[in-house]
Structure 1
Amino acid sequence: ATGIGAAALGLVGCGDDDDDGGDSPTSAPAANTAAPGASATTGTSASPTVAANAPIKGGTARFTSANNTWDTFDIQRSIFSTTAAYIVALTNLGIVQYDSFKEAKLGPAFAQSWEQPASDLTQMTFKLRDNLFWQNKPPVNGRAATATDMAKFLLRERDATLKDGTVDKSTFYRSSQYALIDTVTTPDEKTLVLKFKSPNIFMLDTLAGSYSKVQAPEAIDKFEGEYNKLQADQIIGTGAFQLQDFKAEGTLNHKRFDKFPDQSYLDGIGFLPLFDQAAGQAAFEQKQIDSFTPAKKAVLDDILKRFDKQITNNITFSANNGLLLTNGTVGPPWNNDQLLLAISRVLDRRLFVSQLYQGLGGLYGQIPPSQAAFSIKESELITLPGYLEDHAKDVAEGKKLWEANGGPALGTIHLDLPDVVELALPGFTALWVKQMEQLGNKVEPNIVPFSTIISKINALQYGNSGAAGGGTNIYIGVTSDTQGPEPTLGAYQNYHSSQPRAKIYGPANPEVDGITEKAFIEPDVAKRKSLMNDFQRAAVKHGGMGLMSTYTNFNNNLAWNYLKRAEWATFVTSHQFNKMWIDTKDPTYSSRPT
């Protein structure tokens, strides 16, 4: 049973399976359409040859994870997709997981089965997966998993409480998604029963999220205060792979966990520290890594031409999209959404796509293209403020708003930007400064680690004139990875004024509150789609409400033909890597170094 959360998404069977691997877009397509070779709504493409041959067991797949930033190995308190994708999705299971994003199909993970009667959406029952064991690391030492493990995970999320009893809403970022849970019981060691305070139509989607992974209670007891040390022995899961070693600069090695109860083909997965695009390209061409994502279109075109029919190009929308963020809930100046709208209107979003990505991207208005089934069409988006084809008109209107709402008197705008983005996209900082200085104020950039930005967010030091470092300080970031095919839950969490995450972004808006609250409890998917359209229109017209969407880009994920994956998708799919295998019989494998 998939329950109402995934089955009602209305995304089953959309998109194509074009596998020629040679096409790439030359300009930004509409936000509600896909690049060639990618799914039209979910940004997924199935590996074209997985079904053609019987999978072969053995070998180690190799990738790169350099220039990433890590916050904590406590996945329930992490906000960085690196921890979710490169580590915990491989090592730990959620209660359920997406077997296929393309088909919006959920499958078993920690739980083998579940049911939520259509006549009673206030209760769910889960049955523990058979023969499920924790990895053999202290203090868990390979014991059998239990329904109590799931229960403790859920209660920790709901209560946002540390082992010493401290309630910490600031770092349990997704706690509000569990707020409807009333009771959690385990009638026996195999059964978990959830009862909700009111009907909950999104629980399965929450449980399938890339950060919703069950951790061993003993590990939390031992490591909770030390997870920020980022040590491999802290990662103890029930998943297909076991983390062997980790270095923050980008070296990770996983080996197959032989007690994993499902099929797993690879002996291991390795990530290499390759610090720039040239090194990554060279390693890919020499088959030292099996997949590579070029940042420049010229490089992409060159590789596709030279290795024609030897590689596939698996195009997805980026899971992390560009944003400008403020903290407008605590005071001036950014609690004035007209100032936010003024900034939004002077930003040339098309220039970001053309200059940073050579046209391999698109416009993004609060709902990313990977969730386009719930989004307004681009033909409407380009009539809204900040997205006009006549950008000069947007700039003129933005300047008027800025002046009318006291913008010039704010003086210098202090802008924090993440160092990893500037490293990946040279010129990123200069482009942002130039865009914002159209308003007439001086903009002072400060390139800092993402960890610095996160700590300042938690300390309410952005946009808060009453806090040290606050006032006109704002920051550029990227979204957390898109969690699934439907945006409704995320819209409620990020924009409804009652939600903890909404409180760290921007000013509340009664219209948006009403729309997102209604959508959150609406069981009919067609009505939710309509409500999300209304939400998008309202949020854009109010300057993004502190979460100012700018652009999204395409990832051209190149892979040698010998690498077989179940699915390429916009969303985190590394929990599916147990289905990945290396075809040693493929002609392209012959020169791969062992």
Structure 2
Amino acid sequence: MKKMKHVVLLLTLISIALVISACGGASQDKGSENSKNTNTEPKSGGVLKVGLASNPNTLDPIKYTGAYESQIMRSVGDTLVVYNQDLSDFSPSLATEWTPSEDMKSYTFKLRDDVYFQPGKYQDGRKMTAEDVKYSLERSAKESALGRLDGVESVEVTGESEVIVHLTAPNASFLAMLTDVGNIIIPKEEVEGWGDQFGANLVGTGPFQFKNWQTDQKVELVRHDKYWGEKPYLDGVTYQIIKDPNMMTNALRSGDIDIATDIKGQNRQVIEQDQNLELLSEPGLAIDYLDLNNMSGPTADPKVREAIYKATNVEEIVKGVNQWGGGTVSYAPIPKGSWAYSEELEKLKPEYNPTEAKKILAETDYANGFKTELYVLESRVPYATIFQAQMKENLNIDVDIKVTEWGTLSDIAAKGKAPMYIGGWSWYPDPFFFLNKTFHSNQIGSLGNGKGYNNPEVDALLDKALSDTVEQGERAKLYQEAIKIIMSEYPRVELDNLDQTAAVTKHVQGFAVSADGTINIVKPNGTNVWLSN
């Protein structure tokens, strides 16, 4: 174990050195008032600059797979309904009201009649119609890369401002699914006109419209003057791509950005000690995990997966990566903030036991270890480095760490070509978004279940939790049964349950982190961010 301690210590020293180096030129003024305590009236004007840790791959609602893309898209497009600010209920957006049928197999939506698209190349900012809703939702239902509108059979236009969404079966998570930015309403002319390039030229009905995208640098949005909702205070929003976490912190301290995301490690402490900044960190609906390929390679053998899990000192990894706060050990494939979470689930996590792990591996064709590849984003290299050392020491498994961009990682993982990869999942409180999307066999071939997990019994439980009842307690029991089976088959290693964290300058007003990880700038639930100067 001395080797393990050396790895953790080395990572710590490197992190501290990088932060000190990156922040050496930052402002040291400590006299400004904290943004949370500013009591001035909202003012209009200014461009908000938000740092994102990875370059978006596409802004097409049916093709996007990552949070980095969704953060931009939610400022450009609107869904029919949205979550309220504490994620406890739904609020109107493009739909003013909705009514489910008695058999829960259809929903009737009344639509706003004052909604206009942003001007684009193939339409000049026309009024949104019920036909647009039909087109957008049916497109998502048929073509979404992550099945973001599974179970929608068709959308029927029943009036100028009314549609009925028909489901293949009752779906207790349907309204929550509709809030996903992958289900924003878009104009058919723009989609068909741009073809494969629509993802780089997104047009929607949201508070800001697309202006410019410089790959690996920034995406610029400007205010949509015909936005149907409360007028945005901001003139625009610029999302700046800053892949290095220490450079992200430095950019915030120097004023190059106003909001920094993905704040982890020593950077949390650096920000907390700067009186010009505020660290916003709340327990989140976010987990990190290490997916093991269930279809091919050594990890297709459940015994190999079991050995790897029991040879992984998760506590050491989590402590090493989150020693300045922001993350705790994950015991199950749903976050602690989900309403289906139970402390009983924590008993399912395998105990770290390298001796037993060696015995289990000895029962397989890989008793002497093997070579494999682990795909990660740059921000998750610390997880990978500690895991790599543990595997070599405990099981003689040589792990080659492959650091990739988000687009490459998501493509390789979704296609089942990654022997291992470290991923993160952040979504809504409903377990459907964590379990169905990452363990149901109908998601094989998508990012969530690129590992290829397939168990008919689990599928049946997940389906039943959607169609047989809307009662939360009953659904929770079904999901917990599914989790027990999943954990017994070791399809992946659960790592940590993360806080949702951002940091802001003193000038940012009206911004708060959300448990689901969304960056909300202007939203129909009452959010409207502004800059004090």
TM class by shorter-chain length? 0.7 to 0.9
In the aligned structure 1, how far is the partner of 2:187 from the partner of 2:169?
29
Give 1:349 deviation, angstroms: 1.3
2:238 counterpart residue number: 270
Alpha carbons of 1:452 and 1:178: their partners in 2 closer, same or farther (altered >3 Å)? closer
Q: Secondary structure at the match of 2:182?
A: coil
Give 1:293 deviation, angstroms: 5.0
In the aligned structure 1, how far is the partner of 2:472 from the partner of 2:267?
41
2:299 to 325, 329, 334: 334
2:127 counterpart residue number: 144
1:531 counterpart residue number: 478
2:203 to 236, 251, 259: 236
Alpha carbons of 1:499 and 1:538: their partners in 2 closer, same or farther (altered >3 Å)? same
Q: Secondary structure at the match of 1:414?
A: strand
Q: Verify: 1:580 aligned to 2:528, yes or no.
A: yes
In the aligned structure 1, how far is the partner of 2:520 from the partner of 2:398?
45
Q: Which runs of 5+ in 1 are unaligned?
A: 1-46, 161-171, 463-473, 590-594
2:183 to 212, 219, 222: 212
Q: Verify: 1:517 aligned to 2:481, yes or no.
A: no
Q: Secondary structure at the match of 1:186?
A: strand
User: Letter of the aligned partner of 1:218 in structure 2?
Assistant: E
2:429 to 473, 482, 485: 485
**8 Å contact 1:134–1:143 — kept in the other structure?**
yes
1:452 to 401, 408, 430: 408
**8 Å contact 2:81–2:175 — kept in the other structure?**
yes
1:44 counterpart residue number: none
User: Any residues of structure 2 matched to 1:467-478 within 5 Å, and which?
Assistant: 474-478=419-423
Alpha carbons of 1:516 and 1:508: their partners in 2 closer, same or farther (altered >3 Å)? same
2:6 counterpart residue number: none
Give 1:103 deviation, angstroms: 4.5
User: Letter of the aligned partner of 2:528 in structure 1?
Assistant: M
User: Any residues of structure 2 matched to 1:62-461 within 5 Å, and which?
Assistant: 62-65=49-52, 67-85=53-71, 87-100=72-85, 102-117=86-101, 119-160=102-143, 172-175=144-147, 178-227=149-198, 231=200, 234-263=201-230, 264-292=232-260, 295=263, 297-307=265-275, 311-317=277-283, 321-329=287-295, 333-360=298-325, 361-369=327-335, 371-377=337-343, 380-386=344-350, 388=351, 391=352, 394-408=353-367, 412-418=370-376, 420-421=377-378, 424=379, 427-437=382-392, 438-461=394-417
CA offsets 1:59-83 (integer angstroms, 9 cap, x no match): 2222222x41322222211112111
In the aligned structure 2, how far is the partner of 1:198 from the partner of 1:457?
30
Alpha carbons of 1:549 and 1:115: their partners in 2 closer, same or farther (altered >3 Å)? same
Q: Secondary structure at the match of 2:522?
A: helix
1:495 counterpart residue number: 439
**8 Å contact 2:304–2:364 — kept in the other structure?**
yes
In the aligned structure 1, how far is the partner of 2:262 from the partner of 2:153?
47
**8 Å contact 2:414–2:449 — kept in the other structure?**
no
In the aligned structure 2, how far is the partner of 1:325 from the partner of 1:530?
25
In the aligned structure 2, how far is the partner of 1:356 from the partner of 1:441?
22
2:8 counterpart residue number: none
1:14 counterpart residue number: none
Alpha carbons of 1:436 and 1:69: their partners in 2 closer, same or farther (altered >3 Å)? farther
In the aligned structure 1, how far is the partner of 2:433 from the partner of 2:265?
35
Alpha carbons of 1:381 and 1:120: their partners in 2 closer, same or farther (altered >3 Å)? closer
In the aligned structure 1, how far is the partner of 2:207 from the partner of 2:317?
39
In the aligned structure 2, how far is the partner of 1:503 from the partner of 1:428?
21
**8 Å contact 2:106–2:165 — kept in the other structure?**
yes
CA offsets 1:291-340 (integer angstroms, 9 cap, x no match): 33585554433443341xx54332134665322223324x5643332322
In the aligned structure 2, how far is the partner of 1:446 from the partner of 1:294?
20
CA offsets 1:102-152 (integer angstroms, 9 cap, x no match): 1422222232322214x3311111122221011111112211111111111
Percent sequence identity over matched residues? Answer: 18
Alpha carbons of 1:206 and 1:506: their partners in 2 closer, same or farther (altered >3 Å)? same
User: Letter of the aligned partner of 2:211 in structure 1?
Assistant: Q
CA offsets 1:359-391 (integer angstroms, 9 cap, x no match): 5211123434353431122xx4553343x3xx3
User: Letter of the aligned partner of 2:386 in structure 1?
Assistant: L
Q: Secondary structure at the match of 1:83?
A: helix
In the aligned structure 2, how far is the partner of 1:454 from the partner of 1:551?
20
Alpha carbons of 1:499 and 1:284: their partners in 2 closer, same or farther (altered >3 Å)? closer
In the aligned structure 1, how far is the partner of 2:196 from the partner of 2:100?
36
In the aligned structure 2, how far is the partner of 1:218 from the partner of 1:252?
23
Alpha carbons of 1:451 and 1:107: their partners in 2 closer, same or farther (altered >3 Å)? same
**8 Å contact 1:254–1:269 — kept in the other structure?**
yes
Give 1:48 deviation, angstroms: 5.8
**8 Å contact 1:293–1:557 — kept in the other structure?**
yes
**8 Å contact 1:210–1:572 — kept in the other structure?**
no
Pairwise CA RMSD: 2.8
2:4 counterpart residue number: none
In the aligned structure 1, how far is the partner of 2:372 from the partner of 2:484?
29
Q: Secondary structure at the match of 1:219?
A: helix
2:24 counterpart residue number: none
User: Letter of the aligned partner of 1:69 in structure 2?
Assistant: N
User: Letter of the aligned partner of 1:558 in structure 2?
Assistant: A
In the aligned structure 2, how far is the partner of 1:103 from the partner of 1:454?
27
Alpha carbons of 1:73 and 1:295: their partners in 2 closer, same or farther (altered >3 Å)? closer
Q: How many residues align?
A: 490
In the aligned structure 2, how far is the partner of 1:201 from the partner of 1:495?
18
In the aligned structure 2, how far is the partner of 1:573 from the partner of 1:425?
20
Q: Which runs of 5+ in 2 are unaligned?
A: 1-34
In the aligned structure 1, how far is the partner of 2:413 from the partner of 2:270?
41
In the aligned structure 1, how far is the partner of 2:225 from the partner of 2:264?
40
Q: Secondary structure at the match of 1:56?
A: coil
Give 1:533 deviation, angstroms: 2.5
In the aligned structure 2, how far is the partner of 1:276 from the partner of 1:336?
36
Per mean C-alpha deviation after superposition, the further-off stretch among 144-153 and 314-323 is 314-323
In the aligned structure 2, how far is the partner of 1:530 from the partner of 1:485?
15
In the aligned structure 2, how far is the partner of 1:326 from the partner of 1:297?
26
1:12 counterpart residue number: none
Alpha carbons of 1:301 and 1:226: their partners in 2 closer, same or farther (altered >3 Å)? closer
User: Any residues of structure 2 matched to 1:539-550 within 5 Å, and which?
Assistant: 539-543=486-490, 545=491, 547-550=492-495
